[in-house]
């Protein structure tokens, strides 16, 4: 069976991209990384992908007349490589409405909080400032609503006494690297369906949880 072709969008080091690349090396993994696109030419993740023999493209947002023009250029690269699923991995650009409409149901993101809490930037500091005792990460479908698309799965981590934004972010990131490849596998296996604005994952028995609670 042909593997699902995944395009990964990055702006920096691409640690979640690297986790996906590693997962895709397994013979039984049903997806392959067909293309990595960065809007920053010097992003370290570009060299990481090239070192793994993965096709890369740089589409700079600078000099573009508007967001949609940039979005269309990125989409053209993805389509040229036959990408079927777009995965955001530290892609620091806000899309025009055109892009999530073009890739409806085939565009996902991982956000370092338990959405819908703490959207936007600096979310670990937001969590600490709010005094929450649990934080984590969320994989969700991307829509025009920033950090507001249907939730697919989450992983929770405790907020420990003495945590800083950096220490909490590091703990969350370890779980991002576990959760993202799992969700991509589910999508490649055709297990997701949207019902009433909520995501259902086939094969999950009644009473089971899609909130993962790994070790601290």
Catalytic residue among 61, 111, 140, 177: 111
* Percent above pLDDT 70 for the chain: 99
pLDDT digits (tens, 9 = 90+) for 70-101: 999 999 999 999 999 999 999 999 999 999 99
* Percent above pLDDT 90 for the chain: 93
Give the three-class secondary structure for 96.
coil
pLDDT digits (tens, 9 = 90+) for 130-165: 999 999 999 999 999 999 999 999 999 999 999 999
State pTM to two decimals: 0.95
User: Residue 215: what pLDDT?
Assistant: 55
Q: Establish whether the linkage from the previous residue to 116 is cis, with ω within 30° of 0.
A: yes
**Mean of pLDDT over the chain:** 96
What mean pLDDT comes out for the span 8-16? 98
The CA-based angle 153-59-119, given to 5 degrees, is 35
Complete domains list, the chain, with CATH: 1-103 (3.40.50.170), 110-216 (3.40.50.170)
The CA-based angle 89-15-183, given to 5 degrees, is 55
Alpha carbon 175 to chain centroid distance?
A: 12
The tokens describing 212, both together, are 């993962």
55 within 8 A of 36, measured Cβ to Cβ: yes
Active site residue 177: no
Checking if the pLDDT of 108 tops 50, the result is: yes
pLDDT digits (tens, 9 = 90+) for 15-52: 999 999 999 999 999 999 999 999 999 999 999 999 99
User: Residue 216: what pLDDT?
Assistant: 47
């Amino acid at each position: 069976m042909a593997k699902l072709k995944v395009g990964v969008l990055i702006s920096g080091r691409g640690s979640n991209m690297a986790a996906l690349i590693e997962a895709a090396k397994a013979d039984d993994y049903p997806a392959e990384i067909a293309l990595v696109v960065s809007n920053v030419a010097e992003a370290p993740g570009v060299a990481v992908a090239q070192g793994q023999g993965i096709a890369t493209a740089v589409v700079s947002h600078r000099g573009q007349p508007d967001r949609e023009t940039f979005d269309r250029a990125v989409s053209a690269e993805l389509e040229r490589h036959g990408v079927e699923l777009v995965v955001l991995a530290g892609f620091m650009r806000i899309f025009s409405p055109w892009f999530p409409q073009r890739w409806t149901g085939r565009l996902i993101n991982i956000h370092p909080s338990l959405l819908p809490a703490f959207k936007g930037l600096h979310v670990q500091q937001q969590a600490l400032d709010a005094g929450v005792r649990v934080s984590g990460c969320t994989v969700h479908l991307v829509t025009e609503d920033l950090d507001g698309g249907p939730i697919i799965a989450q992983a929770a981590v405790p907020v420990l006494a003495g945590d800083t934004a950096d220490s909490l972010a590091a703990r969350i990131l370890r779980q991002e690297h576990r959760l993202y490849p799992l969700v991509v596998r589910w999508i490649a296996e055709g297990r997701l369906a949207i019902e009433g604005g909520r995501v259902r994952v086939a094969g999950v028995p009644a009473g089971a949880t899609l909130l993962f609670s790994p070790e601290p």
